[in-house]
Amino acid sequence: MKLTGAQILWESLVREGVTDVFGYPGGAILPAYDAMLAYPIRHVLVRHEQGATHMADGYARATGKVGVAIATSGPGATNMVTGIATAMMDSSAIVCITGQVGSKLIGSDAFQETDITGITLPITKHNYLVTSAEDVAPAVLEAFAVARGGRPGPVLVDITKDAQQGSSEVDWAAAEPHLSEAYDEALPGDGDARDAIELITAAERPLILAGHGVMLSGAERQIIELAERAQIPIAVTLLGLGGVPASHPLNLGMMGMHGEAWVNNAIQEADLLIALGMRFDDRVTGNLKTYAPTAKKIHVDIDRAELNKNVRVDVGIAKDLREALDEWLPLVKPGDRAAWLSRIDSLKGDSAVRDIQNLPDDGHLYAAHVINDIWRLTKGEALVVTDVGQHQMWEAQYYKHNRPRSLITSGGLGTMGFALPAAIGAKIACPGAEVWVIVGDGGFQMTCPELATVVQEHLDINIAIINNGFLGMVRQWQEFFYDKRYAATPIGGPNFAKLADAFGIAATTVTKRGEVAGAVEAARRLKRAALIDFQVEQEDSVYPMVPAGADLHKMIRRPSPIVETAAD
Amino acid sequence: MLHTFAVYVDNKPGVLNRVASLFRRRAFNIESLTVGHTETPGVSRMTVVVDTDEYGARRLEAHLYRLVPCRRVDNITTAPSISRDLALIKVAATGNARTHVMQLVDVYRARIVDVSPESLVIETTGTEDKIDSLVEVLRPYGVIEMVRTGRVAMARGTTPVRPIAPRVPPRAAPDVSGDVGNCSV
């Protein structure tokens, strides 16, 4: 039986197990939309195509499934670019379907024509331009295999209007994807399990650096087993939060620019770093010349191109992390590293207790109060989606994630406006989860029209705006490094509660610390979306901080009078 | 140092662009790039010369393998190999000069492939050094126009290092739902 290209598209998606897509219709994708109604697909109408990509991204990160976004040609496709780049940087498996002008019009500067495969070439794992109905199924099925295979990432399939309208028989068996197996081959010079175990056994001050790859490969159990058996403490990256329970005694906390001081100091004193599914981003290493000067390094990453990219390693293993750890575990000898663990305890010293949340109520509302209360009241079990900036770092510091995939945030690209749409995707993927958006007043204003999507889809998500009237992180850099010249960082905004009200979302404004808990509880009780505008201290900063490019152990600490000391 | 890669890719539209874009994106400077058909139908072979260090070369190899149309990458920098460049050189040559140029062509075992009253076109193949040297000695006579193919290279010996990777069904993605469950929160 012949199917149209549009039908083949949906049939392919259904065969891939897709149940939800995020999109926005338009001229060149109309045939696909017309065919969609006959398939068991929930289509979420977004308010901007960037939102569709972030939703697909949030959906993918919450579940490990592939997220799907769909848009028309031209501006619909170019609006997806930021979301695609975000997914690329954070290894998130999404497939973007775009309509394209008819194949005869390609190259003619036709209405709403844009070279989206050319534009997205460097920010996708791969992309396809499909110009005939018979090519639709092979391209779409291969797109899913590429998106979820190896290091996950975004794939774009651009389908011309005539390919959607044309008809073809489909041989589904022949359309099954076949990819080059070369990628999985070990290359000469690759390290193996024995090399790694040798270094681990010999190390006196080893440290595991756990990244996003722990969750992407499903190695949560293995990493704990390794740490417990060999008594190796663990530091996590921003995207690694939740991969190792925050409450685990060997989990030291987050590393890097706004990581815990003792974690950064431990990295600098370690004699072995075991980097698992992380990529030595400049935000976690600081100055590479002085990074972990006494440590040998083992690096396991499924993407060989990450090995020896930023940090030279002694053993580099290009492999799925869980497979690698499954090989290691039978060889790991029980270790006793009490001296090293107690050394790290002593590094904690006066910085171990973050007492900003325990300060007396003096009328000041700090973001830390808000996030700490949300953590306490949700018992640390919410699925939190954050944007980019100060609130994102405070969330990472004050919300203790014990479960994998319970924090979704834009790490690599640092995309403002990510949180609200990503949370919509996560909520649709996990309808039973308590979803909290924690977002700054700047980032929220970038994608707040998606509030209409929240309402139209009847989603029960809670939105906490950390509103300090500034583009806070940039303001902080201006305070520290540009002599407090606040160029273009003071940002006004609407009355967020009234804005939410206009969308039909319950909203409150909180200005005092004593009101935080009540507002959070009220939002949790409400069985529909709620927004809270937390008007916090305007010029608070995130501490500690490693200035960009500085040595990892040279951190700016919180000045008095708000001192982070155990004595407070 | 200069690294020479032999890259086998599917012969599909846009593949050259993908390879070139990768080098640009990762800030590698291409010294030379040639592409042509191979003994395998549907597969093209590129010879890419790039100036980078050991680590850079390895990362580049890994990046090339991440391209879906890429079937095999051989770094033949250190392998015993033959590399050749082909050049066409149009030289102004009248009167006495013509005789001198023809003698030089003989010395370099090059060939004259076009003769006109005002000029000669010389064809030569060889290593880049040899061609550079020929161009230098011709320069005083007046090089009007020159075109070079860039380096093509092949490892010596009878068997290729590794076969072109076959296309196989993709590995199953890791099951991440086992221990933790999707939507664990």
Give yes or no: residues B51 and B115 share one domain.
no
Q: By the 8 A CB rule, do A255 and A283 touch?
A: no
Does B178 score more than 50 pLDDT? no
Which residues in chain B have their CB less than 8 angstroms from residue A182's CB? Answer: 65, 70-73, 165
Give yes or no: residues B56 and B109 share one domain.
no
pTM across the whole model: 0.94
Count of domains observed in chain A: 3
**In whole angstroms, what is the distance from residue A423 CA to residue A438 CA?**
10
- Partner residues linked to A155 by β-bridges: A95, A126
Give yes or no: residues A365 and A508 share one domain.
yes
Neighbours of B22 (CB within 10 A): 18
pLDDT value for A521: 98
The CATH code of the domain that includes A482 is 3.40.50.970
Residue A556 lies in a domain: no
Q: By the 8 A CB rule, do A277 and A300 touch?
A: yes
Shortest Cα–Cα distance, B85 to chain A (Å): 29
Q: B54-92 b/e with 16+ CB inside 10 Å = b?
A: eebbbbbbbbbbbbbbbbbbbbbbeeeeebbbbbebbbe
* Shortest CA distance from A381: residue in chain B: B185
pLDDT, chain A, mean? 94
Position A184 confidence tier, pLDDT thresholds 50, 70, 90 = low
Count of domains observed in chain B: 2
Residue A545 lies in a domain: no
Q: By the 8 A CB rule, do A90 and A212 touch?
A: yes
pLDDT, one tens digit per residue, over A372-414 is 999 999 999 999 999 999 999 999 999 999 999 999 999 999 9
Closest CA to B58 of A187, A311, A179: A187
Of A152, A180, A433, the CB nearest to B185: A433
* Shortest CA distance from A185: residue in chain B: B165
pLDDT value for A77: 98
Give yes or no: residues A53 and A157 share one domain.
yes
Does B124 score more than 60 pLDDT? yes
Give yes or no: residues A210 and A157 share one domain.
no
Residues A404, B70: C-beta atoms closer than 8 Å: no
Of A149, A303, A309, the CB nearest to B171: A149
Side chain identity, residue A320: D
Residue B168 lies in a domain: no
Residue B131 lies in a domain: yes
Contact of B62 with chain A, judged by CB distance below 8 Å, is answered with yes
Indicate the burial class of B20 (C-beta count within 10 angstroms; 0-12, 13-18, 19 or more). Answer: middle
Residues A405, B165: C-beta atoms closer than 8 Å: no
Q: By the 8 A CB rule, do A210 and A223 touch?
A: yes
Give yes or no: residues B10 and B67 share one domain.
yes
Position B182 confidence tier, pLDDT thresholds 50, 70, 90 = low
Position B134 confidence tier, pLDDT thresholds 50, 70, 90 = very high
Residues B62, A404: C-beta atoms closer than 8 Å: no
Last residue of a domain, one of A133, A148, A180: A180
Give yes or no: residues B48 and B110 share one domain.
no
Residue B57 lies in a domain: yes
Residues B185, A403: C-beta atoms closer than 8 Å: yes
Give yes or no: residues A164 and A229 share one domain.
no
pLDDT, one tens digit per residue, over A231-247 is 999 999 999 999 999 99
Give yes or no: residues A30 and A173 share one domain.
yes
pLDDT, chain B, mean? 89
Which residues in chain B have their CB less than 8 angstroms from residue A148's CB? Answer: 173
Position B132 confidence tier, pLDDT thresholds 50, 70, 90 = very high
* CA distances, A345 to each of A50, A250, A341 (Å): 44, 11, 6
Give yes or no: residues A328 and A397 share one domain.
no
**In whole angstroms, what is the distance from residue A487 CA to residue A195 CA?**
52
Residue A543 lies in a domain: no
Residue B173 lies in a domain: no
Residue B179 lies in a domain: no
The CATH code of the domain that includes B17 is 3.30.70.260
Domain that holds residue A375: 355-535
Contact of B166 with chain A, judged by CB distance below 8 Å, is answered with yes
* Shortest CA distance from A64: residue in chain B: B176
pLDDT value for A21: 98
Shortest Cα–Cα distance, B122 to chain A (Å): 39
Give yes or no: residues A215 and A95 share one domain.
no
pLDDT, one tens digit per residue, over B74-118 is 889 988 889 999 999 999 998 889 999 999 999 999 999 999 999
Taking residues A108-123, what's their average pLDDT? 97
Give yes or no: residues B90 and B105 share one domain.
yes
Shortest Cα–Cα distance, B176 to chain A (Å): 4
Residues 66-105 of B with CB under 8 A from A: 66-68, 70-73
Taking residues A412-434, what's their average pLDDT? 97
Give yes or no: residues B89 and B131 share one domain.
yes
Give yes or no: residues A396 and A529 share one domain.
yes
Shortest Cα–Cα distance, B133 to chain A (Å): 37
Residue B66 lies in a domain: yes
CB pairs under 8 A between A and B: 129
Fill in the DSSP letter of residue B96: H
Give yes or no: residues A322 and A400 share one domain.
no
Shortest Cα–Cα distance, B6 to chain A (Å): 14
Give yes or no: residues A146 and A226 share one domain.
no
Shortest Cα–Cα distance, B166 to chain A (Å): 6
pLDDT value for B184: 62
Last residue of a domain, one of B59, B78, B97: B78
Residue A562 lies in a domain: no
Question: A357-360: long-range contacts (C-beta < 8 A, 24 or more apart)?
Answer: A357/A398, A358/A568, A359/A562, A359/A568
Of B71, B167, B176, the CB nearest to A64: B176
Residue A423 lies in a domain: yes
* Structural tokens at position A426: 């996560």
pLDDT value for B163: 74
Residues B59, A218: C-beta atoms closer than 8 Å: no
Give yes or no: residues B22 and B64 share one domain.
yes
Residue B97 lies in a domain: yes
Residues A217, B176: C-beta atoms closer than 8 Å: yes
* CA distances, B64 to each of A125, B26, B153 (Å): 12, 11, 18
A130 φ, ψ (degrees, to nearest 5)? -105, 120
User: Residue A14: enclosing H or E segment and its boundaries?
Assistant: helix A5-15
pLDDT value for A44: 98
Residue to mutate among A88, A180, A225, with most B CBs inside 10 A, is A180
Residues B183, A304: C-beta atoms closer than 8 Å: no
Give yes or no: residues A324 and A365 share one domain.
no
Query: ipTM value of the model?
Result: 0.89
Give yes or no: residues B48 and B87 share one domain.
no
Last residue of a domain, one of B54, B78, B102: B78
Residue A363 lies in a domain: yes
The CATH code of the domain that includes B141 is 3.30.70.1150
Give yes or no: residues B106 and B64 share one domain.
no
What is the DSSP annotation of A61-122? Answer: HHHSSPEEEEE-STHHHHTTHHHHHHHHHTT--EEEEEEE--GGGTTTT-TT---HHHHTGG
Of A178, A221, A429, the CB nearest to B179: A221
Give yes or no: residues B61 and B96 share one domain.
no
Order the strands of the A126-130 sheet from edge to edge.
A42-45, A20-23, A67-71, A94-100, A155-160, A126-130
* Shortest CA distance from A304: residue in chain B: B62
Percent over 90 (pLDDT), chain A? 91
Which residues in chain B have their CB less than 8 angstroms from residue A183's CB? Answer: 65-66
Residues B176, A185: C-beta atoms closer than 8 Å: no
Give yes or no: residues B98 and B41 share one domain.
no
Taking residues A130-136, what's their average pLDDT? 98
**In whole angstroms, what is the distance from residue A440 CA to residue A375 CA?**
17
Of A148, A217, A403, the CB nearest to B184: A403
* Shortest CA distance from A380: residue in chain B: B185
Of A150, A312, A406, the CB nearest to B185: A406
* Residue B81 Cα to chain centre, angstroms: 13
Which residues in chain B have their CB less than 8 angstroms from residue A432's CB? Answer: 183
Residue A511 lies in a domain: yes
Does B162 score more than 80 pLDDT? no
* Structural tokens at position B26: 């990762």
Q: By the 8 A CB rule, do B73 and A305 touch?
A: no
Residues B167, A179: C-beta atoms closer than 8 Å: yes
* Structural tokens at position B162: 């590794």
Of A41-50, A160-169, A543-552, give the lowest mean pLDDT range: A543-552
Q: By the 8 A CB rule, do B9 and B38 touch?
A: no
Taking residues B116-136, what's their average pLDDT? 95
Give SS3 for A179.
strand
Domain that holds residue B64: 2-78
Within B8-144, where are the H helices?
15-25, 54-66, 95-107, 128-138
pLDDT value for A165: 98
Residues B170, A216: C-beta atoms closer than 8 Å: no
Which residues in chain A have their CB less than 8 angstroms from residue B66's CB? Answer: 125, 150, 183, 303, 305
Residue A546 lies in a domain: no
Give yes or no: residues A236 and A284 share one domain.
yes
pLDDT value for A363: 78
Indicate the burial class of A498 (C-beta count within 10 angstroms; 0-12, 13-18, 19 or more). Answer: exposed
Residue B184 lies in a domain: no
Does A520 score more than 70 pLDDT? yes
Last residue of a domain, one of B27, B56, B78: B78
Of A63, A142, A178, the CB nearest to B168: A178
**In whole angstroms, what is the distance from residue A147 CA to residue A222 CA?**
25
pLDDT value for A563: 43
pLDDT, one tens digit per residue, over B4-15 is 999 999 999 899
Does A194 score more than 90 pLDDT? yes
Shortest Cα–Cα distance, B107 to chain A (Å): 43
Is the peptide bond preceding residue B169 cis, with omega within 30 degrees of 0?
Answer: no
Taking residues A92-116, what's their average pLDDT? 97
Does A347 score more than 70 pLDDT? yes
Of B62, B176, B184, the CB nearest to A305: B62
Does A150 score more than 70 pLDDT? yes
Give yes or no: residues B86 and B124 share one domain.
yes
What residues of A are annotated to the active site? 49, 111-112, 161, 473
* CA distances, A329 to each of A224, A319, A397 (Å): 11, 15, 31
